[in-house]
Structure 1
Amino acid sequence: MDVLAPLGHFGSSTLGYLIPFLFVLTIVVFFHELGHFLVARWCGVRVKAFSIGFGPELIGFNDRRGTRWKISAIPLGGYVKFLGDEDAASTPSRATIDRMSEEDRKDTFFAKNVWQRAAIVAAGPIANFILAIVIFAGIFTVYGREVTSARVDQIVSGGAAEAAGFKVGDLVLSIDGSPISSFNDLQRIVSASADETLSIRVERDGGEVTLQATPQRREVTDRFGNVHKIGQLGLSRSASGGDVKLERFSPPEAIWQGAKETWFIVERTFDYIGGIFTGRESTEELGGPIRVAQVSGQVATLGVVALINLAAILSVSIGLLNLFPVPMLDGGHLLFYFFEIVRGRPLSERAQDIGFRIGLAAVLMLMIFTTWNDIIHLSSL
């Protein structure tokens, strides 16, 4: 019972978590499905429904092409339903398709060639990446970005930085060959590199020195009381006027910075997943809807800009997750289309059905695991 007790607190602040969570999730889901929708229309596929959420319809309308746009009762995702689909998962209804006229059959998703089908499926995750880039670019253009140089101001006694030979006044230039332009760049790489030896090039007394440092894994508590295990060198940045500035970007520069920010999230996600398989990272950080709802509520207290920034991060994560080659996800469909291109014909219906059953089991197990992680996480607060 002790493990479930924190859910009482979660329930008592439902609105504080739920409204920001639904705001963020709706933005991400809408653009994901919009990607599928726009490319499907471009390829000549007739779209029967565009839904935010699942289950019974709450409100909706029909556009001039006959697509039903609606908001449904269960707001945990969404779907685009094409002509000939049996359900929201785009399973083909063979009986329905067989009864169609030749003219109508041409407008179904399954009548399109493999390249068109692949483009429609890939458009959802791609839309998520584009959304993230646009959000980041908008924030960088309107608000700019405060940048603190990666100059060392203090060194913690007994920390990894002291052991590596860092000195006050050192300016970090690169880590493992990656340029460092701010202390934030330094923190990002170091926090994700616990127990890994890094080659760090610094500027010192007009020259350059290369140091070997291994960030120590530490538990840190953020402003909301959440505990994270990250790598730390044991040094702090300089806060003098010359080392802190506000950078503003033109729209083209902001788009480039937004793309770099998006790629950083992708890169670090793969690093984390790789770390799980090698034993460097723990699965405790994997979270599900409850954790996302909690974080959304916490971030909402920092303002609308912080919440929209979270939407961009979540958009990248959902786009990337959907590209994993697991049947039931967009990446699983793309995997089937790859085999179809190589073989010159689709996989048999039986093979696809087995694949979808395995994919469904994998997705359900992941959902159960992350939900259990969420409950354990709440119990520790």
Structure 2
Amino acid sequence: MSLQVIFQIVLLFFVLVTIHEWGHYYFAKRAGILVREFAIGFGPKLFSFKRGETRYTLRLLPVGGFVRMAGEDPEIVHIQPGQTIALRLSDDQVTHIYLDQLDQRSDVVIGTVEKIDLEHELKVRLEAGGEAETFSIHPQAMMVTKGKETQIAPWNRQFGSKTVGQRALSIFAGPFMNFILAFVLFVTVMFLAGVPTNVKIEKVEPNSPASQAGIQAGDIIKTVNGTEIQTSTSKLTDLIGGSQDKKMDWTVIRGGKETPIQVTPAKNAEGRIMVGIGLTSDKRGTGVGEALSGGWENMKLATTQILLGFKMLVMGQFSMDDLGGPVRMVEVTSEHASAGLPQYTFWAAVLSLYLGIFNLLPIPALDGSRLVFLGFEAVRGRPVDPNRESLVHFIGFAALMLLMIAVTYNDIIRLVRGES
């Protein structure tokens, strides 16, 4: 595998995951939700930096990503009455709340908490030196413990404070961005590949029915049994497949002249009915209208095939070898990357579409499941118990990870055995 192919594989997965998570991030920010982390990958951090309120991280396992919004996880350490803390103030507002190493802090107020509200009132009442004083807390104040700073999240910055519509949009935006990217890539493929103007013979297998009939590379197929072929290779293969051991009347254009040829398809060693030719086509540039309509048609066709695959999965019409994990994905992506830019772009479009559709399935831990819970909330008029919802998503995530391990193991065994 060349360095270029490796780069194309890494670039593809990075773009697909980033555009998905950016959809979540952008609409969460527009709704006023505090986004704590924008992560590509799972597991230990490889690289991270903070810009504004959000930390951007690259993690070890390249199996997805996540946007961590305030209020989704109980990641903030709670401060209890009676606890000793230190406050740093600026312009009469608390900007930092220190929970440890208090004797090492300078220019701070140290005292015992009598009352604190970090979500609604944004105030803390502290008893220090026998006197109690109330301090206002800045809405972007930092809690500091064990050398780690965590920005507080007032209620109006938390995920749960937003309307059902705002939350649903921030969740749906991830898959939606994958759909947008898929369409753009399908349209790009139309520009890269061009529009076929005919069906032409690229090669003729030696000692094949086509060779015996006198068909030559470079021949343009005009009609078969009186049927205009135009640019439809599928029409040609259907006619061949239904004509085993039957003479077919072909008209080809050779050197600008129409030439009649009779060819008799035969079954090969694999049981396929063939004449022994490879096909290509002459192409012209693609117009904008053609690219848009062709890209849309390809997207609809790919969507149908993906949904059919999910249907077979649900009905149990599959074997373990039909599933693929990261290893199989890298293997297939390498093949498409090596086949040229149009094929690589087409595969990227299919993967982006697949990622969008898969994430909308009502499987716990996926975006589709979260949308289902929001639907329940909209109907009931109140949210589902957050602890129960978190448990469902945790179980779903664990199940997906176990499945990922299983299919990855199967991929490795298949590679060791030399199976394709």
Deviation at 1:268, TM superposition (A): 0.7
**Equivalent residues of 2:209, 2:276 under 8 A apart:** no
Of the three residues 48, 54, 64, the one matched with 2:36 is 48
- Code of the residue aligned with 2:183 in structure 1: it is I
Q: Count residues in correspondence.
A: 308
Determine which structure has more spread, i.e. the larger CA radius of gyration.
2
In the alignment, structure 1 residue 80 sits paired with structure 2 residue 80: no
Q: Which residue of 1 aligns with 2:119?
A: 100
- Code of the residue aligned with 2:225 in structure 1: it is G
Q: Which residue of 2 aligns with 1:125?
A: 175
In the alignment, structure 2 segments of 5+ residues that lack a partner are 80-115, 122-138, 140-153, 211-222, 239-248, 251-267
Deviation at 1:270, TM superposition (A): 1.8
Deviation at 1:327, TM superposition (A): 1.1
Which protein, 1 or 2, shows the higher relative CO under an 8 Å CA cutoff with sep ≥ 6? 1
Deviation at 1:112, TM superposition (A): 0.8
Q: Which residue of 2 aligns with 1:38?
A: 26
- Code of the residue aligned with 2:164 in structure 1: it is V
Distance 1:358 1:336 in 2: 15
Distance 1:265 1:34 in 2: 24
**Equivalent residues of 2:193, 2:342 under 8 A apart:** no
Structure with greater proportional helix content: 1
After superposition, residues 1-381 of structure 1 pair within 5 angstroms as: 19-63=7-51, 65-86=52-73, 95=78, 99-101=118-120, 104-146=154-196, 168-169=224-225, 171=227, 182-183=232-233, 234=273, 244-246=281-283, 248-278=285-315, 281-378=318-415, 379-381=417-419
**Equivalent residues of 1:149, 1:238 under 8 A apart:** no
- Secondary structure at 1:106 match in 2: helix
Q: Deviations over 1:101-130 (max 9, x none)?
A: 466321222211111111111111111111
- Code of the residue aligned with 2:348 in structure 1: it is A
Residue identity (%): 31
Distance 1:282 1:181 in 2: 36
Distance 2:410 2:294 in 1: 33
Deviation at 1:46, TM superposition (A): 2.4
* Residues 186 and 62 of structure 1, relative CA distance in 2, 3 Å threshold: farther
Q: Deviations over 1:116-171 (max 9, x none)?
A: 111111111111111111112122124424465699x9999xxxxxxxxxx95364
**Equivalent residues of 2:9, 2:337 under 8 A apart:** no
**Equivalent residues of 2:224, 2:236 under 8 A apart:** no
* Residues 112 and 144 of structure 1, relative CA distance in 2, 3 Å threshold: same
Distance 1:29 1:219 in 2: 43
Q: Deviations over 1:57-93 (max 9, x none)?
A: 4444444x4323333343332221223343xxxx776
Q: Which residue of 1 aligns with 2:150?
A: none
* Residues 99 and 121 of structure 1, relative CA distance in 2, 3 Å threshold: same
Larger deviation: 338-347 or 297-306? Answer: 297-306
- For normalisation by structure 2, the TM-score amounts to 0.61
- Secondary structure at 2:38 match in 1: strand
- Code of the residue aligned with 1:100 in structure 2: it is E
Distance 2:37 2:358 in 1: 24
Q: Deviations over 1:259-301 (max 9, x none)?
A: 2222222211222232345565545221010001112222222
- Code of the residue aligned with 2:159 in structure 1: it is F
- For normalisation by structure 1, the TM-score amounts to 0.66
- Secondary structure at 2:157 match in 1: coil
- Code of the residue aligned with 2:23 in structure 1: it is G
* Residues 233 and 70 of structure 1, relative CA distance in 2, 3 Å threshold: same
Structure with greater proportional strand content: 2
Q: Which residue of 1 aligns with 2:261?
A: none
**Equivalent residues of 1:290, 1:374 under 8 A apart:** yes
In the alignment, structure 1 segments of 5+ residues that lack a partner are 1-12, 157-166, 174-179, 190-203, 206-217, 221-231
Distance 2:351 2:337 in 1: 14
Larger deviation: 310-319 or 126-135? Answer: 310-319
* Residues 304 and 129 of structure 1, relative CA distance in 2, 3 Å threshold: same
- Code of the residue aligned with 1:169 in structure 2: it is N
